């Protein structure tokens, strides 16, 4: 039997190290009635590395702005993040670049910048690198 990973043994606050991914599209009607066409929506899944607990946030579409808004909602509900792990999706990379650009402006007092959340990406074409293996290499 292999050794237990230190990310599973070391005590820390829930949702301090989180994996994030987007799922979808889901067909959803914005309201009931005749002639209402379904629209595509997505969900953002946050997975805690400490206790394997999941948190879902709805996204209107796959853009960096929607992802940043879901990160803000997540951080207000679950507390501030220390590390964020994701794949190399274009919305994740775009959101990371936007947050870095905002952090270098002097007039922005954004809580994501104040807490200096580390954002690690899996290598390209390796979805199996996410999860505990990523948290182990901290």
State yes or no: pLDDT of 11 exceeds 70.
Answer: yes
The model's pLDDT over 33-44, given as tens digits with 9 standing for 90+, comes to 888 898 899 999
**Under 8 Å between Cβ of 93 and 129:** no
- ∠ CA 41-120-1, nearest 5°, is 105
In 3D, which of 27, 61, 15, 21 has the Cα closest to residue 44? Answer: 21
Residues 14, 44: contact at Cβ < 8 Å?
no
The pLDDT value recorded for residue 55 is 93
3-25 mean pLDDT? 79
Fold that domain 15-27+38-124 belongs to in CATH: Nucleotidyltransferase; domain 5 (3.30.420)
Interval 49-89: pLDDT, tens: 888 889 999 888 888 778 888 888 898 898 878 888 888 77
Domain ranges of the chain: 15-27+38-124
């Amino acid at each position: 039997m292999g050794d237990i990973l230190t990310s599973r043994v070391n005590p820390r606050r829930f949702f301090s190290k989180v994996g994030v991914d987007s799922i979808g599209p889901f067909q959803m009607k914005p309201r009931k009635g005749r002639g209402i066409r379904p629209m595509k929506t997505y969900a953002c899944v946050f997975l805690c590395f400490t206790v394997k607990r999941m948190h879902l946030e709805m996204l209107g579409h796959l853009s960096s702005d929607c992802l940043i808004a879901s990160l803000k909602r997540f951080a207000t509900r679950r507390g501030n993040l220390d590390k964020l792990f994701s794949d190399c999706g274009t919305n994740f990379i775009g959101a990371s670049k936007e947050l870095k650009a905002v952090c270098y402006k002097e007039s922005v007092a954004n809580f994501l910048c104040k807490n200096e959340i580390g954002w690690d990406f899996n290598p390209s074409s390796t979805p199996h690198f996410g999860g505990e293996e990523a948290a182990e290499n901290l």
